[in-house]
Structure 1
Amino acid sequence: MLKKVSLIGAPTDIGAGARGASMGPEAMRVANLGPILQGHGLEVLDRGNLIGPSNPWLPPTNGYRHLDEVVAWNQLVHDAVYTELSDGRMPILLGGDHCLGLGSISAVARHCREAGKKLRILWLDAHADFNTNELTPSGNIHGMPVACLCGHGPKELIEIGGQVPAINPKWVRQIGIRSVDPGEKKLVHEVGLEVYDMRYIDEMGMRHTMELALATMDVNTHLHVSFDVDFLDPDIAPGVGTTIPGGPTYREAQLCMEMIADTGRLASLDVMELNPALDVRNKTAMVAVDLIESLFGKSTLMRK
């Protein structure tokens, strides 16, 4: 695991259906993310916030809301994440809504192509985010980034990162899914996305789920985690725009993060959809930072 970490704020809710995710980066800073990571022996640079177009809050056009602005934000994110990886640093993208996962992961995929590395993506989320403009009920692009990364989307988005598709669906493991739109469900099935939904976790447990999600990685694997805070049950994380009941408990989420940390392969991270406007006394940001700390090795005991 890289010991040099860069925090990149992306304060926008451009792809979301609710306002407020633009305040997410500052909420995580208020919850002391940087100093906490420094306490684990990491060199942390806070790069501040990217500056992109404001949210015009318009209805969809041809099935997309704010397409031009979403493209601009994702290009900014791509360039920032790619720069940190090229400098041998681990980028932590602080969102912002999850449409930005497109820019982040397309940069990671580009870096892996150039470095000759394999890529594994863990998508921790209540939603599959595999909609297209023809399937979406809302036009909100935060429901489309995985589809765009796999080549299903508008030319302006799928070409960010320089290769179409940016990733192979077989590189993705989705965990915690419990809300998929009807048309999206069919497309997820057709492309063969590996999804561990909440029913699977209920039946098999988080440990077995994570063992499968992390299987077959080796020393040449770059592990990227895209953590949508609505992955968590809203009882412990109310500060998100799209709360879906029945998510992982605090202990299940901790086990998930600790098993990722145990691999020693984490090389880039997104933390998305934190919405302080819907939170209670920054509770969700503090839970998110606590879980991120576990990604970087916090544990009750020294483990072999």
Structure 2
Amino acid sequence: MTETTEGSALAVDRPAEEWTGRTDGQAREHRRWHQVVSPYTAQAEAEAPGGVVYLGFASDEGVERNKGRRGAAAGPQALRGTLGGLALSDRDADIRAWDAGTVAVTDDRLEAGQERLGEAVRRVIDAERLPLILGGGHEIAFGTYQGVAASARRRGKKLGVLNLDAHFDLRPDPVPSSGTPFRQMLEAEEAAGTDFQYGVLGISQPSNTQILFDTAEKYGVRYLLDEDCSVADRDQVRDFVTGMIDDVDLIYLTIDLDGLPASTAPGVSAPAAYGVPLENVQLACDLVASSGKLAVCDVAELNPTFDIDGRTARTAARLVHRIATASQN
């Protein structure tokens, strides 16, 4: 079992590094993320509730098992680097934010890495802060889920998982991968007899076989096809997301960047031929983040090896920025 890394409150494999970015001054009107994020130490964990905690999940193993292209393990560091330079508005200049370091999957030990991630997520939620996990392949999802499912905040509450994604990730494969996490969740919830709702915004019909649609129907999965998520469909997207929010007590938001058009997010394992416009992905994030029900959020599939001009990292950083700030106001 991985021991708590020196200087971190959580059991991680890599300690938090100093965030960097442009510095225009030290006054609040100059603040950027790199000027407000500090290491998440035991002392920080003991402080008053509130704030956001960044946590990396460096993993390619699930993507490789799912026959995708490697490179997502470098996603957390690329996303931190881009996010660090984003400016904070006057309203958000005093946001409390920490970095807890990175859980890294090595030697094909995906399941152990997911367990470590889950325990770290549980700790952050139980400290009454918002965990924001930076991936990594979408195998991140089952680790994040384990954390929110085990948290004190979840007890007796209906959990909703909203996935912004082109894929259901409900594969029946016996070996867990980036294509299986939501089936794993549904089976775990079914076995526990707990109240649970899974919804997906942006499903690509050509990217999901009929058996996956049949599985979605079996489990009562809510979904909206990508072709029904255009800018002209903004009201329909709003209704879908608010319907999810209204029907659950607690939400885990997971963003797979391959649900965005390839022109917006080229640096992913499986670029989308169609995708959901950034405007509507951002709308979904804003609605969830401001709902008061968001327990945890993760971002998956950033693959810097295939990015173009940092386009995917910039998109992901903007979404994380909005979720972090909206959740604290």
For normalisation by structure 1, the TM-score amounts to 0.79
Q: Which residue of 1 aligns with 2:197?
A: 171
Structure 1 residues 229-271: Cα deviation after superposition (integer angstroms, max 9, x where no partner)? 1111111110101012111122222222222234233221011
Rate the CA distance shift 1:130–1:263 in 2: closer, same or farther, 3 A: same
Q: Which residue of 2 aligns with 1:101?
A: 141
Most deviating of 104-113 and 231-240 = 104-113
Most deviating of 107-116 and 11-20 = 107-116
Contact 1:175 1:195 in 2 (8 A): yes
Give the superposition deviation at 1:112.
5.5
Give the superposition deviation at 1:140.
6.9
Task: Tell me, yes or no, if structure 1 residue 47 matches structure 2 residue 87.
Answer: no
Where structure 2 has 5 or more consecutive residues not aligned to the other structure, the ranges are 1-48
Q: Which residue of 2 aligns with 1:141?
A: 177
Structure 1 residues 28-59: Cα deviation after superposition (integer angstroms, max 9, x where no partner)? 1110258657972421110111133235xxxx
Task: Tell me, yes or no, if structure 1 residue 129 matches structure 2 residue 169.
Answer: yes
Contact 2:241 2:284 in 1 (8 A): no
Q: Which has the larger radius of gyration?
A: 2
Q: Distance in 1 between matches of 2:164 and 2:243?
A: 16
Aligned length, in residue pairs: 271
Q: Which residue of 1 aligns with 2:52?
A: 5
Q: Distance in 2 between matches of 1:277 and 1:199?
A: 28
Rate the CA distance shift 1:262–1:173 in 2: closer, same or farther, 3 A: same
Rate the CA distance shift 1:128–1:33 in 2: closer, same or farther, 3 A: farther
Three-state SS of the structure 2 residue aligned to 1:142 is coil
Three-state SS of the structure 2 residue aligned to 1:215 is helix
Rate the CA distance shift 1:46–1:197 in 2: closer, same or farther, 3 A: same
- Report sequence identity in percent: 27
Give the superposition deviation at 1:146.
0.4
Contact 2:52 2:324 in 1 (8 A): no
Matches within 5 A, 1:19-30: 19-30=70-81
Most deviating of 206-215 and 90-99 = 206-215
Contact 2:55 2:99 in 1 (8 A): yes
Contact 1:101 1:226 in 2 (8 A): yes
Task: Tell me, yes or no, if structure 1 residue 287 matches structure 2 residue 315.
Answer: yes
The structure whose RCO (Cα within 8 Å, separation 6+) is larger is 1
Give the superposition deviation at 1:277.
0.6
Q: Distance in 1 between matches of 2:166 and 2:147?
A: 24
Give the superposition deviation at 1:297.
4.7
For normalisation by structure 2, the TM-score amounts to 0.74
Rate the CA distance shift 1:230–1:279 in 2: closer, same or farther, 3 A: same
Rate the CA distance shift 1:47–1:36 in 2: closer, same or farther, 3 A: farther
Where structure 1 has 5 or more consecutive residues not aligned to the other structure, the ranges are 56-68, 152-157, 299-304
Most deviating of 175-184 and 10-19 = 175-184
